[in-house]
Amino acid sequence: MNTPTLRTGLALTSLVSTPLLLVTGMNRLAEAQTESCPTWETLEAVVRADQIRPPGPLPTLPEGFRQGCVTAEAGAHTLNVYVYRNDIELEFAPEAEWPDVSGDLHELLPPQASVVSDLPSGQINALHFGFDGGYGYENIVNRYQAWHEPYISAYGTVTFRYTWATLMPPPEELPPQMAADMLARLATNLEATRSEYSPEVESHIPEPSGEVADRSSCWAPLYLAQRQIEARPDVTVVKALTEPIPVDRYANPPSDRPNAITIAIEGEAVETLMGDTALQQSISEDILSNCPDVGLVKVGVWRSSYSAISGWVDGEPQSFRCTDLGLVSDQKLPWGERYCGL
């Protein structure tokens, strides 16, 4: 393969002006990378040497990528890092064709734009990590107001604090379960970095709604549920969150499954989706069977009481039965029942 020849001896100053990175010192690591492609271990060493300071932590990598080639590119306020599978040998364009858009970053990591390899389809070829630079806190914070942290969007991006991750090729071009499983693994690895945040960074991010447990087995079905819903024309997931089951409404909810997941949808075709009982049942069963702390799942129309409710009843997922108890404010519903018409 054409291995990248990383330039040496230049001060890393050109990226200091961007908020995405703080780069200091000289390139002391590049000489060791002239014979082979840099790996994730190289990036970790660069960060430890304080040559690059991403605003979010570096997650541990899933098996199959830890010895793969690493490339990079810098946007206006973002550092993008691409980690290829261990078994992929990259071909690079000649150095003269490398884009000179990221300054001295490419003394450390070769540019992603210079990769000219033909990669197989239908497989995860690389993991794509991004590190946000810190501008526009309001916009960044909005990404994390979801049912848990990290948040896997229906578009196949795992977002956590100032770090996000996705797949290459994009998740929508991969078999859904393959994409969901890998995104769940990335979410689990990002979750493990919680303790690495400084209070200054954490202060910008709201706490998740409700009590949130380790939900490593839950992220894949939640992502698949979003994909199933948004695969329908004119339906969008507006919001999805975890919160405690309202004990003032239900009698005897399961004590070992204290949380409820609510998925709010909107769009011109919500009536059709809400009428699809098979889809509702499939989504609820998948979530309840894989989320050990969740006892209730509600899929409903945004800003409306129209919803489908399922829960963990007698040791298995069940749709809640309609009851005619009436809307009596001080009367709790038996677990497994819902008010008719709601």
* Residues sharing a CB contact under 8 Å with residue 114, sequence separation 6 or more, in sequence order: 4, 71, 92, 93, 97, 98, 99
How far, rounded to the nearest angstrom, does the alpha carbon of residue 272 sit from its chain's CA centroid?
Answer: 29
More confident site: 30 or 190: 190
Label residue 33 exposed, middle or buried (CB < 10 Å: 0-12, 13-18, 19+): buried
- Among 38-52, 97-111, 139-153, the range scoring the smallest mean pLDDT is 139-153
Q: In what order do the strands lie in the sheet with 126-132?
A: 70-74, 78-84, 126-132, 163-168, 158-160, 151-152
Question: What is the C-alpha separation between 53 and 42, in angstroms, rounded?
Answer: 14
Tokens of 200: 């200054």
pLDDT at 148 over 50: no
Question: What is the C-alpha separation between 157 and 245, in angstroms, rounded?
Answer: 28
b/e code 245-262 from CB counts within 10 Å (16+ = b): beeeebeebbeebbbbbb
What is the pLDDT at residue 226? 84
The share of the chain scoring above pLDDT 70, in percent, equals 71
More confident site: 236 or 83: 83
pTM surpassing 0.75?
Answer: no
- Nearest partner of 194 among 247, 148, 130, 250, judged by Cα: 148
Mean pLDDT across the chain, nearest whole number?
A: 75
The residue type found at 150 is P
Strands 307-313 and 294-301: antiparallel
Strands 294-301 and 259-266: parallel
Do residues 295 and 258 make contact, with C-beta atoms less than 8 angstroms apart? yes
pLDDT at 30 over 70: no
Q: What is the DSSP letter of 339?
A: E
- Among 50-64, 83-97, 258-272, the range scoring the smallest mean pLDDT is 50-64
Q: Find the mean pLDDT for residues 166-193.
A: 88
What is the pLDDT at residue 22? 37
Paired residues of 94 in beta bridges: none
Q: How many CB atoms lie within 10 A of CB 235?
A: 18
- Nearest partner of 304 among 238, 208, 230, 214, judged by Cα: 238
Do residues 18 and 133 make contact, with C-beta atoms less than 8 angstroms apart? yes
**46-55, 237-246, 305-314 — most confident range:** 305-314
Question: What is the C-alpha separation between 280 and 308, in angstroms, rounded?
Answer: 7
For 256-294, write each residue's pLDDT tens digit: 999 898 888 999 999 999 999 999 999 999 999 988 889
The share of the chain scoring above pLDDT 90, in percent, equals 27
List C-alpha distances in Å: 221 to 90, 215, 225, 286, 314. 33, 11, 6, 6, 22
